[in-house]
Structure formats: C-alpha cells, structure tokens
Amino acid sequence: MERISRIQDAYFKKDVPKFKVGDTVKVYVKIVEEDKTRLQMFEGMVIRKRGKGLSETFTVRRISYGEGVERFFPLHSPFVEKIEVVKSAKSRKAKLYHLRGRVGKKADALL
C-alpha cells in the first residue's frame, strides 16, 4: 500500500486551486493536433465533484449557442494545464443536476 501511495505522489498536481460545486471556473486543456499542441479554454459552472486522490474528477457545464454542454475533467490529468476560479458561489446541494433543464438567468437564480 505504501508503494502505491509513493508512486501516486509523483502524479499529484500541487497548484490546484480550491473550488467547489457552484463555482464558475476556466479550465485550460491541452489539445494535441498532429504535431502541435495548443491550449483550449472551457469556462462554465462546476455541477459535480466526485472521487478522491488521483481519480478525483469534476464536471463543468456551460451554454453554447443555446445548447447545454458538459465536460468532465480528471483533476490531476496532465492534459489539464490550469484551473482558474472566476466566480465563487454558495451552493446548498452537492450535485447541481437540476440546472440541466434551465438556461440563462433561471439557472443562476437557483443557486
């Protein structure tokens, strides 16, 4: 067990900001296209956090051209370059799945 934790410690990111469900975040993701890499930003509200350790993930939801788009990211993935907290919010629920049916101001008013 101790050997596993020593191996996992090498993969943990040290610069992960504290954020919670309901916060608006910008996630910068490395995109590999043929021989080039670039950064792509995905900004939205965190609707779920789950797991712990290396398997911790979070789901971000945003509205793009009138459609809801959700992406989940492994927190300690090498493809996640950085995470910025844009706006912090106080949520009374652990999972914000009820926002899936809401668009615009209606979604923000439920927090």
Q: What is the per-residue pLDDT for 102? A: 80
- Phi-psi label, residue 86: left if phi above 0, alpha if psi -120 to 50, beta otherwise: alpha
Domain, as residue range, for 47: 2-109
pLDDT digits (tens, 9 = 90+) for 45-58: 999 999 998 999 99
**Structural domains in the chain (count):** 1
* Cα distances (Å, whole numbers) of residue 89 to 21, 49, 63, 100: 8, 15, 18, 18
Q: How far apart are CA 94 and CA 22, in angstroms?
A: 9
- Residues 82-88, mean pLDDT to the nearest whole number: 96
CATH classification of the domain holding 14: 2.30.30.790
pLDDT above 70 for 110: no
Exposure string over 52-80, b if 16+ CB within 10 A, otherwise e? eeeeeebbbbeeeeeeeeeeebebbeeeb
Q: Does position 8 have pLDDT exceeding 90, yes or no?
A: no
N-to-C CA span, the chain: 41
Q: How far apart are CA 70 and CA 74, in angstroms?
A: 14
